[in-house]
Amino acid sequence: MNFGVLLIGLAVVLLVGDDVAYGWNRYRSFHRKRVGAPKPSLWTRLKDWVDRKIHADYYRVDLPLIRDFVGNLQLAMSLEDTLSSALVRTAEQFQDKGIFGVRLMRHVRSRLTIAPDAVIKALAADFNSRELDDVVLRLELARDSGLTAVEALNVSLEEIEHKISNDLERDIQRSPVVLTIPMVVGVFFATLALAAYPLVQGLLNTLTFG
Protein backbone atom coordinates (compact mmCIF):
# COMPACT_ATOMS: atom_id res chain seq x y z
CA MET A 1 0.00 0.00 0.00
CA ASN A 2 2.79 2.42 0.91
CA PHE A 3 4.56 1.70 -2.40
CA GLY A 4 1.44 2.60 -4.39
CA VAL A 5 1.00 5.84 -2.49
CA LEU A 6 4.65 6.64 -3.18
CA LEU A 7 4.12 6.19 -6.93
CA ILE A 8 1.09 8.45 -6.91
CA GLY A 9 2.95 11.06 -4.86
CA LEU A 10 5.89 10.94 -7.26
CA ALA A 11 3.58 11.50 -10.23
CA VAL A 12 1.96 14.49 -8.53
CA VAL A 13 5.38 15.98 -7.70
CA LEU A 14 6.46 15.61 -11.34
CA LEU A 15 3.31 17.31 -12.58
CA VAL A 16 3.42 20.20 -10.12
CA GLY A 17 7.19 20.57 -10.38
CA ASP A 18 7.09 21.02 -14.14
CA ASP A 19 4.40 23.69 -13.89
CA VAL A 20 6.22 25.55 -11.10
CA ALA A 21 9.52 25.48 -13.00
CA TYR A 22 7.86 26.75 -16.16
CA GLY A 23 6.04 29.52 -14.29
CA TRP A 24 9.25 30.64 -12.56
CA ASN A 25 11.15 30.78 -15.87
CA ARG A 26 8.35 32.83 -17.48
CA TYR A 27 8.34 35.23 -14.50
CA ARG A 28 12.09 35.76 -14.71
CA SER A 29 11.92 36.32 -18.47
CA PHE A 30 9.07 38.85 -18.13
CA HIS A 31 10.78 40.59 -15.21
CA ARG A 32 14.00 41.04 -17.21
CA LYS A 33 12.08 42.52 -20.16
CA ARG A 34 10.10 44.85 -17.90
CA VAL A 35 12.80 46.31 -15.68
CA GLY A 36 15.88 45.70 -17.79
CA ALA A 37 18.89 43.57 -17.04
CA PRO A 38 19.81 43.30 -13.35
CA LYS A 39 23.34 43.07 -12.07
CA PRO A 40 24.61 39.62 -13.13
CA SER A 41 25.00 36.97 -10.49
CA LEU A 42 28.25 35.17 -9.80
CA TRP A 43 27.01 32.24 -11.88
CA THR A 44 26.18 34.52 -14.83
CA ARG A 45 29.61 36.18 -14.68
CA LEU A 46 31.26 32.75 -14.53
CA LYS A 47 29.23 31.64 -17.55
CA ASP A 48 30.27 34.77 -19.46
CA TRP A 49 33.90 34.03 -18.62
CA VAL A 50 33.58 30.43 -19.82
CA ASP A 51 31.86 31.58 -23.02
CA ARG A 52 34.64 34.06 -23.59
CA LYS A 53 37.29 31.38 -23.15
CA ILE A 54 35.51 28.88 -25.41
CA HIS A 55 34.43 31.19 -28.21
CA ALA A 56 37.13 33.83 -27.75
CA ASP A 57 35.21 36.33 -29.89
CA TYR A 58 32.34 37.94 -27.98
CA TYR A 59 30.53 38.24 -24.67
CA ARG A 60 26.81 37.83 -23.98
CA VAL A 61 24.38 40.70 -23.35
CA ASP A 62 20.61 40.97 -23.07
CA LEU A 63 18.82 43.22 -25.55
CA PRO A 64 17.11 45.30 -22.79
CA LEU A 65 20.55 46.36 -21.57
CA ILE A 66 21.50 47.55 -25.07
CA ARG A 67 18.18 49.42 -25.19
CA ASP A 68 19.02 51.12 -21.88
CA PHE A 69 22.48 52.04 -23.18
CA VAL A 70 21.10 53.64 -26.35
CA GLY A 71 18.34 55.32 -24.34
CA ASN A 72 20.90 56.86 -21.99
CA LEU A 73 22.90 58.20 -24.92
CA GLN A 74 19.75 59.63 -26.51
CA LEU A 75 18.69 61.31 -23.27
CA ALA A 76 22.11 62.80 -22.61
CA MET A 77 22.41 64.16 -26.15
CA SER A 78 18.88 65.60 -26.03
CA LEU A 79 20.20 67.70 -23.13
CA GLU A 80 22.78 69.11 -25.59
CA ASP A 81 25.64 66.89 -24.53
CA THR A 82 28.13 65.82 -27.17
CA LEU A 83 28.41 62.12 -28.01
CA SER A 84 31.70 62.01 -26.13
CA SER A 85 30.29 63.46 -22.92
CA ALA A 86 27.18 61.28 -23.29
CA LEU A 87 29.40 58.19 -23.46
CA VAL A 88 31.34 59.28 -20.39
CA ARG A 89 28.14 59.91 -18.42
CA THR A 90 26.63 56.60 -19.53
CA ALA A 91 29.81 54.68 -18.67
CA GLU A 92 29.67 56.08 -15.14
CA GLN A 93 26.03 55.08 -14.78
CA PHE A 94 26.63 51.58 -16.21
CA GLN A 95 29.78 50.71 -14.29
CA ASP A 96 27.78 48.29 -12.09
CA LYS A 97 26.00 46.63 -15.04
CA GLY A 98 28.20 43.55 -15.17
CA ILE A 99 30.53 42.77 -18.03
CA PHE A 100 28.78 45.28 -20.32
CA GLY A 101 29.56 48.11 -17.92
CA VAL A 102 33.14 46.93 -17.52
CA ARG A 103 33.75 46.82 -21.28
CA LEU A 104 32.01 50.16 -21.82
CA MET A 105 34.19 51.91 -19.24
CA ARG A 106 37.32 50.30 -20.67
CA HIS A 107 36.54 51.45 -24.21
CA VAL A 108 35.61 54.95 -23.06
CA ARG A 109 38.98 55.26 -21.37
CA SER A 110 40.98 53.83 -24.26
CA ARG A 111 39.08 54.83 -27.42
CA LEU A 112 37.13 57.99 -26.71
CA THR A 113 40.10 60.18 -27.63
CA ILE A 114 40.24 58.44 -31.03
CA ALA A 115 36.54 58.88 -31.86
CA PRO A 116 33.25 58.46 -29.97
CA ASP A 117 32.03 56.05 -32.65
CA ALA A 118 35.05 53.84 -31.91
CA VAL A 119 33.67 53.15 -28.43
CA ILE A 120 30.35 51.89 -29.79
CA LYS A 121 32.09 49.92 -32.54
CA ALA A 122 34.26 48.18 -29.95
CA LEU A 123 31.19 47.33 -27.85
CA ALA A 124 29.46 45.93 -30.94
CA ALA A 125 32.47 43.69 -31.58
CA ASP A 126 32.68 42.61 -27.92
CA PHE A 127 29.04 41.50 -27.81
CA ASN A 128 28.50 40.61 -31.46
CA SER A 129 25.63 43.09 -31.46
CA ARG A 130 23.96 43.98 -34.74
CA GLU A 131 21.93 46.61 -32.88
CA LEU A 132 25.07 48.49 -31.83
CA ASP A 133 26.47 48.18 -35.35
CA ASP A 134 23.26 49.80 -36.59
CA VAL A 135 23.69 52.62 -34.06
CA VAL A 136 27.14 53.42 -35.49
CA LEU A 137 25.84 53.24 -39.06
CA ARG A 138 22.93 55.58 -38.32
CA LEU A 139 25.20 58.08 -36.58
CA GLU A 140 27.43 58.14 -39.66
CA LEU A 141 24.46 58.52 -42.00
CA ALA A 142 23.04 61.28 -39.83
CA ARG A 143 26.26 63.29 -40.11
CA ASP A 144 26.34 62.82 -43.88
CA SER A 145 22.69 63.77 -44.36
CA GLY A 146 22.54 66.67 -41.96
CA LEU A 147 20.34 64.94 -39.38
CA THR A 148 21.10 65.16 -35.67
CA ALA A 149 22.62 62.38 -33.60
CA VAL A 150 19.54 62.50 -31.35
CA GLU A 151 17.33 61.64 -34.31
CA ALA A 152 19.61 58.75 -35.27
CA LEU A 153 19.55 57.42 -31.72
CA ASN A 154 15.76 57.77 -31.60
CA VAL A 155 15.43 55.54 -34.66
CA SER A 156 17.78 52.94 -33.14
CA LEU A 157 15.95 53.04 -29.81
CA GLU A 158 12.56 52.55 -31.47
CA GLU A 159 13.88 49.63 -33.50
CA ILE A 160 15.35 47.91 -30.42
CA GLU A 161 12.13 48.39 -28.45
CA HIS A 162 10.15 47.00 -31.38
CA LYS A 163 12.38 43.93 -31.47
CA ILE A 164 12.01 43.38 -27.71
CA SER A 165 8.23 43.68 -28.08
CA ASN A 166 8.25 41.17 -30.94
CA ASP A 167 10.34 38.74 -28.92
CA LEU A 168 7.93 39.04 -25.99
CA GLU A 169 4.91 38.48 -28.24
CA ARG A 170 6.58 35.43 -29.75
CA ASP A 171 7.26 34.01 -26.29
CA ILE A 172 3.63 34.58 -25.31
CA GLN A 173 2.41 32.85 -28.47
CA ARG A 174 4.72 29.91 -27.83
CA SER A 175 3.79 29.59 -24.16
CA PRO A 176 0.69 27.37 -24.71
CA VAL A 177 2.80 24.89 -26.66
CA VAL A 178 5.60 24.97 -24.11
CA LEU A 179 3.11 24.61 -21.26
CA THR A 180 1.36 21.67 -22.93
CA ILE A 181 4.48 19.49 -22.98
CA PRO A 182 5.06 19.33 -19.18
CA MET A 183 1.33 18.97 -18.62
CA VAL A 184 1.11 16.00 -21.01
CA VAL A 185 4.20 14.41 -19.47
CA GLY A 186 2.85 14.95 -15.97
CA VAL A 187 -0.57 13.53 -16.79
CA PHE A 188 1.05 10.58 -18.57
CA PHE A 189 3.15 9.64 -15.54
CA ALA A 190 0.21 10.13 -13.21
CA THR A 191 -2.01 7.93 -15.39
CA LEU A 192 0.74 5.35 -15.70
CA ALA A 193 1.19 5.27 -11.93
CA LEU A 194 -2.53 4.87 -11.32
CA ALA A 195 -2.79 2.11 -13.94
CA ALA A 196 0.23 0.28 -12.56
CA TYR A 197 -0.89 0.55 -8.94
CA PRO A 198 -3.26 -2.51 -8.95
CA LEU A 199 -0.64 -4.61 -10.72
CA VAL A 200 2.10 -3.59 -8.31
CA GLN A 201 -0.21 -4.08 -5.34
CA GLY A 202 -1.15 -7.55 -6.58
CA LEU A 203 2.49 -8.45 -7.12
CA LEU A 204 3.38 -7.31 -3.61
CA ASN A 205 0.52 -9.32 -2.13
CA THR A 206 1.67 -12.38 -4.06
CA LEU A 207 5.24 -11.99 -2.87
CA THR A 208 4.14 -11.31 0.69
CA PHE A 209 1.61 -14.08 1.12
CA GLY A 210 2.71 -16.50 -1.59
**Distance, CA of 147 to CA of 136 (rounded, Å):** 14
Query: Average per-residue pLDDT in the chain?
Result: 75
pLDDT for the residue numbered 121: 94
> Which of 47 and 138 is assigned the larger pLDDT?
138
* Residue 124: pLDDT over 90: yes
pLDDT for the residue numbered 11: 47
Share of the chain above pLDDT 90, in %: 42
> Which of 168 and 96 is assigned the larger pLDDT?
96
Where are the domains positioned within the chain?
2-37+174-209, 42-166
pLDDT for the residue numbered 184: 57
> Which of 209 and 90 is assigned the larger pLDDT?
90
Q: Is the pTM of this model over 0.75?
A: no
Residue 109 pLDDT class (50, 70, 90 cuts): very high
**Burial environment of residue 168 by CB neighbours within 10 A (0 to 12, 13 to 18, 19 or more):** middle
* Residue 196: pLDDT over 70: no
Cα 197–chain centre separation: 43
pLDDT for the residue numbered 168: 82
Give just the sign of the alpha carbon dihedral 195, 196, 200, 203: positive
